[in-house]
Amino acid sequence: MKKIVALGFVALISAGAFAHTPPPITEKVLQAFRETFSEAENVTWYETNDQTSVRFTRLGVKFIVYYNKNGKITGSMRFYDPSLLPVNVLSGVRKKYTGKKFFGVTEISSGDRTVYFIKMEDDNYWYTIKVDVYGNGEEYEVLKKQK
């Protein structure tokens, strides 16, 4: 009798685990991804009810790309070295923030809008500068370093 109860319990747990399996990624999303990011490495997929996201690396740049169910990109984030910024953005920020050490960029795109969050530092502060595609920027965050 104990074996039957134990087997029933194992079956119940197994059924519960399968009930929480996310739906498969649609073929439209997979096809769109393969066509756009053929050189992607370290690919990891995430699924919610209304969108799919994929995290991967391509040519040394880390990506997060969001797709709707029809395979259309709805937004993206890229994380990379400031030397990869568009020339006009990089030169404008370097002129305005001379003496700062640049060390990272988070690029966020949604629709036709792209914004860059550029991380930099000096001896006393950490800075995050929010810059548009034209090189116009503003201080988004300034944090004092601990001494």
pTM summary value: 0.79
How far is Cα 23 from Cα 5, in angstroms, rounded to an integer? Answer: 31
pLDDT in tens, 99-115: 999 999 999 999 999 99
Contact 107, 77 (CB under 8 A): yes
Please list the ranges in the chain whose pLDDT falls under 50. 1-3, 5-12, 14-20
- Start-to-end CA distance of the chain, whole Å, equals 68
Q: What is the pLDDT of residue 7?
A: 46
Q: What is the pLDDT of residue 30?
A: 93
Q: What are phi and psi of 90, to 5 degrees?
A: -60, -45
Q: What is the pLDDT of residue 49?
A: 77
Q: b/e for 16-45, b at 16 or more Cβ within 10 A?
A: eeeeeeeeebbeebbebbeeeeeebeeeeb
Q: What is the pLDDT of residue 23?
A: 60
Q: What is the pLDDT of residue 21?
A: 56
Domains of the chain, with CATH numbers? 2-144 (3.10.450.360)
